[in-house]
Structure 1
Amino acid sequence: MTQTIVSDQYRQPSLRVHDRDNVRVALRDLSAGLEIDDNGQRLRLSENVRHKHKFTLHAMQSGDLVVMYGVTVGRVVAPIAEGAAITTANVEHATADAEPQGRRAQWDAPDVSAFTGQTFDGYHRPDGRVGTANHWLVVPLVFCENRNIEVLRQCVEDAIGDDPYRDYKHMARRMLHGDAQAAPAATPDASLFPNIDGVRFLTHTLGCGGTDDDAQALCQLLAGYICHPNVAGATVLSLGCQKAQIEMLKEAVAKRDPEGLRPVHYFEQQATDTEPELIRQALGSIFDGLKVANAVERRPAPLSELTIGVECGGSDGFSGLSANPLVGAVIDRLAALGGSGILSEFPELCGVEHELVARCRDDATASRFRQLMEAYQRHAASVGAHFSMNPSPGNIRDGLITDAMKSAGAAKKGGDSPIVDVLDYTEPQVRKGLNLLCSPGNDVESTTALVGSGANLVMFTTGLGTPTGNPVTPVLKLASNSELAQRMHDVIDFDAGPIIRGEADIAELADELLRLCIDTASGRYRTKAMRLSQLDFIPWKRGVSL
């Protein structure tokens, strides 16, 4: 898809994104009767159109196709007047069946001379990979151990004074007892483990009661986290009788770490005399692990060691015009520098498959993408679902009427570089460059999957405001519009709104955003999600409960 946006257009009341489009986007609330200049042609709005929503360039009849970003994003189901808004009442989800016209042999790589030779300060692991953070991980193999994980969390945070909710607890004490009797909040002792970014305690609802494939997928995902470059080692708790067995996890870890370079300690409750003994052993493993992890210090690493996962959530009608293409421009820069990006959320690639197929490096990569997309669609159909159900009420309210429209904008996060590999859920990223990852559209499940496949940094775009974070990988939050960036300033790290207002172009902000990524990867900038301890972890359950 060709991006034809120029900054002067944003000073107009509306925008046509692509020269083949038959709709325009309202950049602010527009009133009925307003005359719009569309590339020299004048049209009059036949009704009020809310900002972020789309209106027609000419009258449309049932069966006509709606085109945006140069691709089909819907089909008309009720007559629409010229200059009228498209809605869920007059348009339904539809995509084109177009096949790519050959594979793109070349791409226009951006100028990255300003970043040539730059480094970030990361944690170098024995397997050669580099982390942007340094965590010790504590994970359960089954939901039955969630309570013990919580006990360990409270014990460790109390021991090292690293309670992320201490300010809220102090607030509660003040509210209950008044200022005079409120005990001061404890502050962490940074001198204990100065090279540790934290102990991360994961909980989940899987490990038993599902299919064998569910148990295998969970173990593969946990192995991706345990062997992640942002993780120094792990403590694992097992009940003993569950479907996801310790041996399954050990096999999954061994595939990613065949030389056993990552310390992992396993504890089984049903093989331990008492619960206090289980907790004592697990605590000992955590504190011993922290001492080992603390010996690793940040050192310079080339930008080629960055793998940035890209995600969107709470999207609005501006996401595909500002934040998403901005993220795509950063991914293109990183690819040109030898680094990697991962684009996920297969339901939000529906309708632009032919564009992505054309970018695949070879026929085998293109074929795998088609196979995974088709398999996902068949699985959805088997339970009476379809990708067209993806847009949320919030998406629709803010102008994303169909899944194809949402997808066309969401795919912009992947930029224009060649697609070097296609990964199924939980598969590790091994090829440098842009990878596609099969994951659901659910924000947290998809972000969880990105990190499990190796993303050591995540860029997350939002138009409505989504607080998603991750336990082990920094998540930078980008607002598609400045109103959101100002209103939720404690959640948003970067404002893409100047693109909408025509005050900055994508190339200019992409360089600024890449510099923020480098600072984040180096530990010089702490993301808002980390400051708020927004540590979301939800595995994707592909099977059924038994």
Structure 2
Amino acid sequence: MNKILQIHARDNITVALTDLTQGEQVNGITLLNDIPAKHKFANRHFNPGDEVTMYGVLVGKATVEIPQGALISVKNVQHAARGYELHERHTQWNIPDVTAWRNRTFMGYHRADGSVGTNNHWLIIPMVFCENKNVQTIHTVLQKELGYHYDNAINLQQQVSNMAAAYKAGNYAGGQVNVADRTAPVMSEQIFKNIDGIKFLNHTMGCAGTREDTRGLCGLLAGYITHPNVAGATVLSLGCQNAQLKILQEEIAKRDLNLKKPLVLIEQQAIGTEEDFLRIALQQTFEGLIKANDNTRKPAPLSKLCIGLECGGSDGFSGLSANPALGLMSDIVVALGGSVILSEFPELCGVEQGLSDRCFTDELAERFMGLMTVYAEKAKLVGSGFESNPSAGNVRDGLITDAMKSAGAARKGGSSPVTDVLDYPEKVTRPGLNLLCTPGSDVESTTAEVGAGANIVVFTTGLGTPTGNPVAPVVKVSTNTALYNKMNDIIDINAGTIIEGAETLEQMAARMLNHVIEIASGNIRAKADTADHNDFIPWKRGISL
């Protein structure tokens, strides 16, 4: 295993792949500090104001004098990024050899609009937060009676029972109360064999927000209703809210003018009592489920995959292992005629020029740069520029500026040309690499990618996160082996083998794609799904990064 890595020939800082100690010599440089794994040290002497380069791009500037061999940290480097402008198109790329994948298929659900789902879910959706309780009531009744009740807290319930019994008996002394037997999560018998789940999309929006947020919410919900992984939906409206059913129907028509799925639209204020409202909703939903159960899995080419590219809880290895491997997998999917979505615009800060140059047309490049500029300006207006994006965990594990984090995050997008630039909550309509304007917040971005049509999300993480989605499988890839060993109940694949030299980026990309195909076919489940993680947060625009 190598101890260090200089990623690009132009870089003037080097990454430690393992813990390095003060006084140690590496590549002729004597280290002046301990350099923890994932962190960086100076290749040369820096004066205040000197540019710090990583991945071949500007990622910061020295704030004080930094001697060669010193640790790079927030104490001596601050965020800096280059500007961007319209340049010539650079759309030539090294198309990967996809011979081994050309005839591969996955078993999916074919929809009337030509898309193919990797799951077959029924959705229960509130138009406004006032309906969240009713949505939860319907969801609870249906999932228990129809076989979708998934009790993964049975061991925790037993632990609480044991602690309570010990306390009542007067002999609870604190500490861990052992649970003798660990019981596997229980799932009752499923009535509708071809429906994978009944999912709900509770949220806190729909009224009293901005008109922009109202339209955005309706567009997002329309994206989920028309999603290839969705068989049908029940939508509950109160009646007086800003997010009217009429707006939702307009947004559905934009995405699928001739929607063929069963769709239940019901308004509480037009009916009367809550019980009458719920009884009508349950009856119409049950009849819709009968129709949706007619869908079965059939072979589909890999060109029908639409992969969301996501990262969260990133660390100093993200841009070295999981992200570039996912980028290679993305290139394979694109070469096969599929679609991939790169989002999280605050985490593309500093690499805008390269991405805009890869856009197929000047118009796409201008739209991307325009969206980035407006987003950055709005963030500053609320007192939080892109430089505020890195979290405490990011910084602690080696990502000390937003540009450094962004340069590694962008590697998820591979090297293919940009075929489309989308604003939230628009839907993917073109194969290839799509750029989607979303915040860097993990759940908001994942929510948006699925709303745009991602039928699977591949999510890289260096620190660990339980994020899932109600509609699309979220496949977690760890950037390092220590994380995988610690949190393998929620991590699907370990890309730390790349850091250790046990696998190449190409081998990992192939392993990831094989895993995606198995999940898309229903042969295995993403760990976020087995743990019943169903995170859904619409973006309140201009508030979050």
TM-score bin (small chain): over 0.9
Structure 2 counterpart of 1:81, from 48, 67, 70:
67
Cα deviations across residues 390-449 of structure 1 (Å, max 9, x unaligned)? 000000000000000000000000000010000000101000000000000000000000
Taking a change above 3 Å as real, the CA distance of residues 243 and 98 of structure 1, as seen in their structure-2 partners, is: closer
Amino acid at match of 1:376: Y
The aligned counterpart of 1:223 is 222
The aligned counterpart of 2:376 is 377
Is it true that 1:117 corresponds to 2:103 in the alignment? yes
The separation in 2 between residues aligned to 1:308 and 1:125, in whole angstroms, is 18
The Cα shift of 1:12 comes to: 2.2
The separation in 1 between residues aligned to 2:249 and 2:298, in whole angstroms, is 30
The aligned counterpart of 1:141 is 127
Taking a change above 3 Å as real, the CA distance of residues 409 and 184 of structure 1, as seen in their structure-2 partners, is: closer
The aligned counterpart of 1:512 is 511
Amino acid at match of 2:392: P
The aligned counterpart of 2:172 is none
Is it true that 1:269 corresponds to 2:255 in the alignment? no
Cα deviations across residues 364-407 of structure 1 (Å, max 9, x unaligned)? 11111011111111111111210000000000000000000000
The aligned counterpart of 1:168 is 153
The Cα shift of 1:176 comes to: 2.2
Q: Secondary structure at the match of 1:279?
A: helix
The aligned counterpart of 1:4 is none
The separation in 1 between residues aligned to 2:463 and 2:476, in whole angstroms, is 12
Cα deviations across residues 112-144 of structure 1 (Å, max 9, x unaligned)? 110111111000011111000000000000000
The separation in 2 between residues aligned to 1:499 and 1:309, in whole angstroms, is 22
Cα deviations across residues 521-541 of structure 1 (Å, max 9, x unaligned)? 111120000000010000000
Is it true that 1:421 corresponds to 2:420 in the alignment? yes
Taking a change above 3 Å as real, the CA distance of residues 101 and 20 of structure 1, as seen in their structure-2 partners, is: farther
The aligned counterpart of 2:19 is 29
1:276-355 alignment, distance < 5 Å: 276-355=275-354
The aligned counterpart of 2:529 is 530
Q: Secondary structure at the match of 1:282?
A: helix
The Cα shift of 1:54 comes to: 0.6
The answer to whether the Cα contact below 8 Å between 1:211 and 1:543 also exists between their aligned partners in 2 is no
The Cα shift of 1:273 comes to: 2.1
The aligned counterpart of 1:72 is 58
The separation in 2 between residues aligned to 1:184 and 1:74, in whole angstroms, is 49
Q: Secondary structure at the match of 2:130?
A: helix
The aligned counterpart of 2:6 is 16
The answer to whether the Cα contact below 8 Å between 1:211 and 1:544 also exists between their aligned partners in 2 is no
The answer to whether the Cα contact below 8 Å between 2:379 and 2:543 also exists between their aligned partners in 1 is no
The Cα shift of 1:490 comes to: 0.4
The answer to whether the Cα contact below 8 Å between 1:134 and 1:197 also exists between their aligned partners in 2 is yes
The Cα shift of 1:96 comes to: 1.9
The answer to whether the Cα contact below 8 Å between 1:142 and 1:238 also exists between their aligned partners in 2 is yes
Amino acid at match of 2:242: K
Q: Secondary structure at the match of 2:459?
A: strand
The Cα shift of 1:225 comes to: 0.2
Is it true that 1:188 corresponds to 2:188 in the alignment? yes
Is it true that 1:56 corresponds to 2:55 in the alignment? no
The answer to whether the Cα contact below 8 Å between 2:91 and 2:416 also exists between their aligned partners in 1 is no
Q: Secondary structure at the match of 2:249?
A: helix
Taking a change above 3 Å as real, the CA distance of residues 198 and 103 of structure 1, as seen in their structure-2 partners, is: same
The Cα shift of 1:543 comes to: 5.7
The aligned counterpart of 1:153 is 139
The Cα shift of 1:544 comes to: 7.5
The Cα shift of 1:103 comes to: 2.0
The answer to whether the Cα contact below 8 Å between 1:34 and 1:45 also exists between their aligned partners in 2 is yes
TM-score (ref. length: structure 2): 0.94
Taking a change above 3 Å as real, the CA distance of residues 543 and 211 of structure 1, as seen in their structure-2 partners, is: farther
The separation in 1 between residues aligned to 2:504 and 2:543, in whole angstroms, is 47
**Which runs of 5 or more structure 1 residues have no equivalent in the other structure?**
1-10
**Percent same amino acid among aligned pairs?**
53
The Cα shift of 1:175 comes to: 3.9
The separation in 2 between residues aligned to 1:76 and 1:69, in whole angstroms, is 17
Cα deviations across residues 268-321 of structure 1 (Å, max 9, x unaligned)? 111112111111111112211221111110000111010000000000000000
The Cα shift of 1:186 comes to: 6.0
The answer to whether the Cα contact below 8 Å between 1:347 and 1:441 also exists between their aligned partners in 2 is yes
The separation in 1 between residues aligned to 2:26 and 2:186, in whole angstroms, is 60
Structure 1 counterpart of 2:113, from 127, 147, 151:
127
The separation in 2 between residues aligned to 1:500 and 1:327, in whole angstroms, is 15
The answer to whether the Cα contact below 8 Å between 2:152 and 2:531 also exists between their aligned partners in 1 is no
The Cα shift of 1:171 comes to: 4.2
The separation in 2 between residues aligned to 1:184 and 1:343, in whole angstroms, is 36
The separation in 2 between residues aligned to 1:260 and 1:399, in whole angstroms, is 48
Taking a change above 3 Å as real, the CA distance of residues 93 and 194 of structure 1, as seen in their structure-2 partners, is: same
Taking a change above 3 Å as real, the CA distance of residues 474 and 16 of structure 1, as seen in their structure-2 partners, is: same
The aligned counterpart of 1:394 is 393
The separation in 2 between residues aligned to 1:167 and 1:441, in whole angstroms, is 30
Cα deviations across residues 425-478 of structure 1 (Å, max 9, x unaligned)? 010100000000000000000000000000001000000001111000001000
The separation in 1 between residues aligned to 2:60 and 2:334, in whole angstroms, is 32
Q: Secondary structure at the match of 1:266?
A: strand
The answer to whether the Cα contact below 8 Å between 2:322 and 2:495 also exists between their aligned partners in 1 is yes
Taking a change above 3 Å as real, the CA distance of residues 187 and 520 of structure 1, as seen in their structure-2 partners, is: closer
The Cα shift of 1:102 comes to: 2.9
Q: Secondary structure at the match of 1:74?
A: strand
RMSD (Å) for aligned C-alpha atoms: 1.9
The separation in 1 between residues aligned to 2:18 and 2:427, in whole angstroms, is 43
The separation in 1 between residues aligned to 2:317 and 2:102, in whole angstroms, is 32
Q: Secondary structure at the match of 2:512?
A: helix
The answer to whether the Cα contact below 8 Å between 1:136 and 1:290 also exists between their aligned partners in 2 is yes
Structure 2 counterpart of 1:96, from 75, 82, 88:
82
User: Which shifted more, 284-293 or 85-94?
Assistant: 284-293
The Cα shift of 1:169 comes to: 4.3
The separation in 1 between residues aligned to 2:238 and 2:316, in whole angstroms, is 47
The answer to whether the Cα contact below 8 Å between 1:214 and 1:543 also exists between their aligned partners in 2 is no
Q: Secondary structure at the match of 1:113?
A: coil
The Cα shift of 1:207 comes to: 0.2
The separation in 1 between residues aligned to 2:72 and 2:306, in whole angstroms, is 38
The answer to whether the Cα contact below 8 Å between 1:100 and 1:355 also exists between their aligned partners in 2 is no
The aligned counterpart of 2:30 is 44
TM-score (ref. length: structure 1): 0.94
Q: Secondary structure at the match of 1:115?
A: coil
